[in-house]
């Protein structure tokens, strides 16, 4: 008869393997389409939703978006992005309660469906280890070691952004320079935030 300790160890190993398979399967799916049919189009997604990121995957996807959209060393920009997504999620959930925070993040952040595979492959450190493996598709010749601490900082920011003030309380949209003309056509008003790469917008009065 197999010792009880070994039995429990094997059960735990089986559960961990199952969780990893399910997570990989979920991440391989295309970015979800939010109500209104807009997927990965930052300035054209319908207005959005209510609950905090309850899923364990939510901070990971949020951190990926923050780095992909704003870069590696922009705590203020990270917080602004996180708060915009949070406000939009609360707004959307009033009409579409099924929309999760992960759906909101993946549907709004174009970088998560771009050709930059490494953005959506960023992962936290394995349990009990300090080292975080380089993401799949990481550019050759670029030191992952130099970026790993910034990735840790982004993960912490994604977990704790609600503890800090919203840098732009009226902002409901963000995008890059390529989105600016379209934002103006939609009647959005740019709100200038010092020291950030992304462009933030409020709805015109």
Question: Over its length of 205 residues, how does the chain's per-residue pLDDT go in tens digits?
Answer: 545 443 443 334 333 333 333 334 444 444 444 443 333 333 333 333 333 445 679 999 999 999 999 999 999 999 999 999 999 999 999 999 999 999 999 999 999 988 899 999 999 988 888 899 999 999 999 999 999 999 999 999 999 999 999 999 999 999 999 999 999 999 999 999 999 999 999 998 7
**What is the three-class DSSP state of 188?**
strand
Q: Which two tokens stand for residue 132?
A: 């975080």
pTM: 0.75
Long-range contacts of 194-199 (CB under 8 A, 24+ apart): 195/74, 195/76, 195/77, 196/70, 196/74, 196/76, 196/77, 196/80, 197/69, 197/70, 197/71, 197/74, 197/77, 198/69, 198/70, 198/77, 198/80, 198/81, 198/174, 199/174, 199/175
């Amino acid at each position: 008869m197999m010792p009880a300790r070994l039995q429990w160890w094997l059960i735990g190993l089986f559960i961990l393997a199952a969780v990893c398979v399910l997570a990989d399967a979920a991440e391989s799916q295309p970015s979800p389409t939010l109500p209104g049919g807009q997927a990965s189009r930052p300035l054209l997604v319908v207005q959005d939703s209510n609950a905090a990121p309850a899923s364990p995957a939510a901070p990971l996807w949020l951190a990926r978006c923050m780095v992909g959209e704003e870069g590696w060393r922009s705590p203020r920009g990270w917080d602004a992005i996180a708060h915009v997504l949070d406000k939009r999620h609360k707004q959307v959930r009033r009409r579409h309660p099924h929309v999760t925070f992960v759906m909101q993040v993946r549907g709004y952040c174009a970088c998560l469906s771009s050709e930059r595979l490494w953005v959506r492959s960023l992962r936290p450190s394995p349990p009990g280890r300090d080292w975080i493996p380089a993401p799949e598709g990481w550019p050759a010749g670029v030191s992952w070691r130099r970026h790993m601490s910034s990735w840790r900082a982004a993960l912490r920011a994604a977990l704790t952004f609600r503890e800090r003030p919203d840098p732009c309380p009226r902002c409901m949209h963000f995008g890059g320079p390529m989105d600016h003309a379209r934002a103006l056509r939609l009647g959005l008003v740019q709100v200038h935030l010092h020291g950030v790469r992304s462009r933030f917008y409020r709805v015109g009065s």
